Structure 1
Amino acid sequence: MSARKAFSGDSRKLVLAFDVGTTFSGISYSILDPGRSPEIRGVTRFPGQHESYNGSSKIPTIIYYDKNGKVRAVGAEAVTESMLVAAEEECWFKAEWFKLLLCKKKTGNPLVQEISLPPRKTITQVFADFLKYLFECASEYIKDTHANGPDLWASVKDKVDFVLSHPNGWEGREQAIMRNAAILAGLVPDTPVGRGRVSFLTEGEASLHFAIENGLLEGVAEKGQGFLIVDAGGGTIDTSVYRRKPGDSKSFEEIAASQCHLNGSVFVSRRARQYLKGWLTDSPFEDDVDTIVDEFDRATKQRFSDPKNPQFIKVGNTRQNFKEWNISHGQLKLDGKNVLSFFAPSLRSIVNSIGEQRRLSVSPIKHVILVGGFSANEWLFKSLNDNLAPHRMNVFRPPNRVNKAVADGALSFYLDHYVTSRVSKYTFGTDVSVDYNSFNEEHVKRRGKVFRHSISGELRVPGGFAVILPKNTQVTESKEFRQSFILQPVFSPGQSQGVEQIDADIFCYHGIDKNPGWMDTDRGNFARLCNIVADRPQMSRKTKTNGDQNKIYSEVSYEIVILFGKTELQAQIAWLENGVEKRSPAKIVYNDEDF
């Protein structure tokens, strides 16, 4: 790729990218100076890190709260010996893996259902506490590592843009929670301008930008070939497919809908815990399963590479021997095949996802780039290569900094913006009622639901689904999708027509029907995505009279315009005024039950 262009703004600003992971989190940043080419830097020193870990780009995604709900320790500070002792003695609450609760309503996964929050805390509050901590870490790092650091920080602290990354499967509702958390944390004010300083990006697309930034696509994205990026993280496994845009060497396009699976490395640990809990029942270590699983995470899980070899977990001191539980000299011996069973479901998720995306891709795929913390496991890397070799696909990993891919890539997205089109993961549309037609078989099947419109007197059939954007459609960032609506407010002669509020529900369909026309045929696969709301400006009306009810009513025609191709949903309303299209902004409202 060509050298990054100089920043064209008229004053210095700061961009912070927060990668809040299920198990570990990181920060990247860029200071934008007018006339200078921006650089991507990382925060590599955090409070509480042992000297041997200085230079590490990530900290544990952990928060300890005391009984009063006050934050007592976060990140690397939360895993120091002194904090662990204090947490046990003072009965602090440990919040971990909380990121997965943002998508709790989308999954019946037992692990997600079991994750708990501190008493009287919402997911937004916990997320806000963690974002606030990351912001403080970034502030201290910049002040400590740059010349005239305090003055530098003072010049940018009130004009920071934030890029928050999230799994491929998350949508507007999760983004809304994260933005509200940023506001609660004090990162930005609750104003249109403040909210606009927070942008979002999928982890898959962030990984693509990381690959471009680090020259990983040389020989990969050539001659129209597609390539897969697998971000194997702590909670999720995200798979994305791209190709270089024909005729434009600097742009990329998504060529199959991205996927997200809850089968990252924490689920390996979860399966290990279930096994160990059963194995150690009635043993002297029955009450130490959590500590033993922590040791499995720290060492055994990292070095597992061959199921033919037994694996060991430290469970006590070297004098402890309990043959009944395969414990010798303080080491619990596990059969390699048992450990394989902890890992195998995650591998299947990746292989199945790649197979589905190969089937949907419009270009051949020969290369897979494996990133994320879980990618460091040798068994996963080798097994993925073995599974894909028959399809003549090559898997490779970046030589270093794989766990920095998302944070650095999110910064590159902000600065470079290489992706120009994306593929819809679901079918999007809205619920409608349609004029009853006695010759239409689908209408006749629903005649028990037919109603007479209270204003126009027309017979209507409810429960129709008007598709706005079909699944697996490639959408450019500027492509607009429209849905027409008609308002029919009643008014009396001489009465002020006032201003009504326009609103429309947008639904996404997760089923297999390519053209779902009715919401009652596959009800379980329809989910309300959001509500689009706007104050209706003065629009041209057509006045009509309902003779049966002797009422005057008007019809107002307008369209809702939706941009699906960006990293965040956007909407407007449009109408014709004397043959000229007029527009007005619309607000997208998500279900705020868990905000």
Structure 2
Amino acid sequence: MSRKPFSGASRKLLLVFDVGTTFSGVSYSVLDPGQVPEIRTVTRFPCQDQVGGDSKIPTILYYDKADNVACAGAEAVQEGIERTAEENNWTKAEWFKMHLRPKRHRPASGGPYIPSLPPNKTVVQVFGDFMRYLLHCTKAYIQETHANGAILWNSVSKNIDYVLTHPNGWEGPQQTLMRKAAVEAGLVPHMGEAHKRIQFVTEGEASLHFCINSGLTTEAMLSGEGVLIVDAGGGTVDISAYCGQQKKFEEIAAPQCHFQGSIFVTSRARAYLQNRLAGSRFADDLDFIVDRFDKRTKLGFRNEQDPQFIQFTSAREREASLGIRSGQMKLSGAVVAEFFKPSISCIIQAVEEQRVASTRSITTVFLVGGFAASDWLFVQLRRALEANGIKIYRPDSHVGKAVSDGGASFYLDRLVGARVSKFFYGIKIQDWLCVDIPQHRARSRLAISHPVKGTPVLENRFSIILPKSEKVLTEKEFRKSYQSLYMGQKPNTIKIDILCYRGRSSDPWWTDEEPAQYSVSGTVEANVSSIPPIQTFNARGQAIRCLFFDVILLFGLTELKAQISWTANQVEKRGPANVVHDTSGEE
């Protein structure tokens, strides 16, 4: 695919950090004015020969007793590191990305096993420490790989833009926490710069960009039919539907995110093994046995008819009642297949849901992500999907850099021009009572007198600004007119909570009917000091003032942006508005 020359006025560096649940990678591009950008991948990290591959390292850190990073990435899995960590009282941090997932995706209790964060560390701090390590490795790689690398780095070190990838299910609060982690990591000096220099892209959309740039197209895609991207990673399975040709693609169904990545196969194996070993002399070896399953047995599983073996102790050890001989624990293939089953069933169901919701016929699925390397996963998906007339493909190689390279293409190429809204978005208002409206008449008994105007109003009205499943062009504005009434001193600022409705109703009206289905997506804070007030009188004959303004929301990019507008002397004027996300309870 051809790419336009960089149109900036000065040299810039683009860095893309794909911090995955189990593995992470970095892609980058040196942007020189007038030159066509080239996407490159960091392919050398410290001790990388310990983990294989050429572009990813384990998402693991060890902290010492002083809460400083002792080692990270491939260094944290080198031979003998467990003993070193034990002797020095180091604490391990892994799968920490799962602690960033939205609150609604966290089970109250009894959920799958997720390792705790280290003591005295928040998820933002751990995330920041790992991104600081990625930045250090990237700097070293560029300086050592490029001609005059040190000069090159010094020329762009103050002019770096970042793209951070995240699952389809991450929203404003998670993006805010990732920006805070970027400040912790030293990527940017403060949150103001973080908003200017950091962009986000979903892993599903990044994977689409990778597939298109890698030439992974089919006749169905070229003819304008839909294609599904299934990004099966360590923590999540992200499913996105697109259609388009060459440089113009759009979402054709609301994307999905499911917590059924490869770590949950391991988590189910842990629960089984913990129960099997309970009360035995091998119970204390659980963590090591699970680690062996994760790194060897899970990856090599191909046939449920064949027994599987976990080598975890001396060849002299045996315990017939536990299926242990020659230091190996025997598992039936059928048992191991059960560990995979919920993830496989979830993907099959999600693919069908996307086909039903899509506005185009879908006959092609691309399977990418680290979990895609599982032959058992691929074969089971192929068997189920091809029975329904769907062809499934997975890249032969370089699947590990799909998201990071795709994130760079997102920044440079912008192949997706329209997205689909996943939920209803709007604000809660007081609605003037109108008994001619059936929904008003049904709750007229709940009407109260407006505190300023004195006329009857109904509270808790959900005023929709963006409907669910709406096609959202990149620059399309969604706006609605509102008024703010007051007596006395004019307010300088207003704060409006943008609500997200996640329920099943196709026409939600009242926020108190399904309160659990509404959540605050973000709070719009705007300066209204320039809006001229209109004077009128209330029902009691008192002078009151009204501010008339429009709330403008832009959902077409990968994060919510807002403005307010008003009219003065028949001319529309606009003012900036900040979208503030509540992250309390998310860390």
TM-score range, shorter chain: over 0.9
1:590 aligns with 2:581: yes
Matches within 5 A, 1:32-47: 32-47=31-46
Pick aligned residue for 2:518 from 504, 526, 546: 526
Which digits, 9 at most, give the CA deviation of each residue in 1:561-584, with x for residues without a partner? 000111111110011111111111
CA distance in 1, matches of 2:190, 2:150: 26
1:427 aligns with 2:424: yes
Matches within 5 A, 1:414-563: 414-438=411-435, 440=437, 442-443=439-440, 445-447=442-444, 449-491=446-488, 499-546=491-538, 548=540, 551-563=542-554
Does the 8 Å CA contact 2:241/2:354 hold for their aligned counterparts? Answer: yes
Query: What is aligned with 2:133?
Result: 133
Does the 8 Å CA contact 2:50/2:74 hold for their aligned counterparts? Answer: no
CA distance in 2, matches of 1:490, 1:257: 44
Does the 8 Å CA contact 1:104/1:113 hold for their aligned counterparts? Answer: no
Deviation of residue 411 (structure 1)? Answer: 0.5
- Aligned residues, how many? 584
1:162 aligns with 2:156: no
Deviation of residue 189 (structure 1)? Answer: 2.4
Does the 8 Å CA contact 2:209/2:407 hold for their aligned counterparts? Answer: yes
Query: What is aligned with 1:211?
Result: 211
Deviation of residue 439 (structure 1)? Answer: 5.5
Query: What is aligned with 2:239?
Result: 239
Matches within 5 A, 1:362-381: 362-381=359-378
Query: What is aligned with 1:63?
Result: 61
1:400 aligns with 2:397: yes
Does the 8 Å CA contact 1:499/1:538 hold for their aligned counterparts? Answer: no
Cα distance, 1:236–1:75 mapped onto 2, change above 3 Å: same
Does the 8 Å CA contact 2:62/2:93 hold for their aligned counterparts? Answer: yes
**What amino acid does structure 1 have at the position aligned with 2:58?**
P
Query: What is aligned with 1:494?
Result: none
Does the 8 Å CA contact 1:131/1:185 hold for their aligned counterparts? Answer: yes
Which digits, 9 at most, give the CA deviation of each residue in 1:2-50, with x for residues without a partner? x212212222111000000001100001111122211111111111323
Structure 2: stretches of 5+ with no match in the other structure = none
CA distance in 2, matches of 1:233, 1:184: 26
Cα distance, 1:115–1:453 mapped onto 2, change above 3 Å: farther
Deviation of residue 206 (structure 1)? Answer: 0.2
Cα distance, 1:273–1:457 mapped onto 2, change above 3 Å: same
**What amino acid does structure 2 have at the position aligned with 1:219?**
E
Give SS of 2:316's match: coil
Which digits, 9 at most, give the CA deviation of each residue in 1:47-90, with x for residues without a partner? 1323683x621111111112332111111111123432221122
Identity %: 46
Which digits, 9 at most, give the CA deviation of each residue in 1:251-276, with x for residues without a partner? 10110011000000000000000001
1:564 aligns with 2:555: yes
Query: What is aligned with 2:29?
Result: 30
Give SS of 1:391's match: coil
CA distance in 1, matches of 2:139, 2:157: 8
Give SS of 1:488's match: strand
Does the 8 Å CA contact 1:227/1:242 hold for their aligned counterparts? Answer: yes
CA distance in 1, matches of 2:500, 2:102: 17
Deviation of residue 425 (structure 1)? Answer: 0.8
Give SS of 1:268's match: helix
Moved more, 165-174 or 70-79: 70-79
1:100 aligns with 2:98: yes
Deviation of residue 555 (structure 1)? Answer: 0.5
Matches within 5 A, 1:86-235: 86-109=84-107, 110-111=110-111, 114-190=114-190, 192-235=192-235
Deviation of residue 104 (structure 1)? Answer: 4.3
Deviation of residue 239 (structure 1)? Answer: 0.5
Cα distance, 1:112–1:326 mapped onto 2, change above 3 Å: closer
**What amino acid does structure 1 have at the position aligned with 2:300?**
R
Does the 8 Å CA contact 1:101/1:112 hold for their aligned counterparts? Answer: no
Cα distance, 1:511–1:458 mapped onto 2, change above 3 Å: same
**What amino acid does structure 2 have at the position aligned with 1:160?**
I
Does the 8 Å CA contact 1:502/1:536 hold for their aligned counterparts? Answer: yes
**What amino acid does structure 2 have at the position aligned with 1:421?**
A
**What amino acid does structure 2 have at the position aligned with 1:139?**
K
Does the 8 Å CA contact 1:429/1:506 hold for their aligned counterparts? Answer: yes
**What amino acid does structure 1 have at the position aligned with 2:463?**
A
**What amino acid does structure 1 have at the position aligned with 2:362?**
I
TM-score (norm. length: structure 1): 0.95
**What amino acid does structure 2 have at the position aligned with 1:466?**
S
Give SS of 1:221's match: helix
Deviation of residue 514 (structure 1)? Answer: 0.6
CA distance in 2, matches of 1:425, 1:546: 40
Does the 8 Å CA contact 2:113/2:267 hold for their aligned counterparts? Answer: no
CA distance in 2, matches of 1:352, 1:136: 41
Deviation of residue 169 (structure 1)? Answer: 0.7
Does the 8 Å CA contact 2:20/2:59 hold for their aligned counterparts? Answer: yes
Does the 8 Å CA contact 1:241/1:357 hold for their aligned counterparts? Answer: yes
Which digits, 9 at most, give the CA deviation of each residue in 1:209-258, with x for residues without a partner? 0001100014241222101110000000001110116xxx4210110011
**What amino acid does structure 2 have at the position aligned with 1:58?**
K
Query: What is aligned with 1:256?
Result: 253
Give SS of 2:476's match: coil
Deviation of residue 191 (structure 1)? Answer: 5.5
TM-score (norm. length: structure 2): 0.96
CA distance in 1, matches of 2:560, 2:288: 43
Matches within 5 A, 1:266-415: 266-415=263-412
CA distance in 1, matches of 2:241, 2:440: 41
Does the 8 Å CA contact 1:111/1:270 hold for their aligned counterparts? Answer: no
Deviation of residue 115 (structure 1)? Answer: 4.0
Give SS of 1:363's match: coil
Moved more, 577-586 or 254-263: 577-586
RMSD after superposition: 1.7
Give SS of 2:352's match: helix
Deviation of residue 451 (structure 1)? Answer: 2.2
Does the 8 Å CA contact 1:371/1:398 hold for their aligned counterparts? Answer: yes
Moved more, 78-87 or 465-474: 78-87
Give SS of 2:509's match: coil
Cα distance, 1:177–1:89 mapped onto 2, change above 3 Å: same
**What amino acid does structure 1 have at the position aligned with 2:24?**
S
CA distance in 1, matches of 2:265, 2:88: 30
**What amino acid does structure 2 have at the position aligned with 1:380?**
L
CA distance in 2, matches of 1:27, 1:440: 56
Structure 1: stretches of 5+ with no match in the other structure = 492-496
**What amino acid does structure 1 have at the position aligned with 2:547?**
V
CA distance in 1, matches of 2:330, 2:446: 65
Does the 8 Å CA contact 2:50/2:77 hold for their aligned counterparts? Answer: no
**What amino acid does structure 2 have at the position aligned with 1:108?**
R
Cα distance, 1:570–1:489 mapped onto 2, change above 3 Å: same
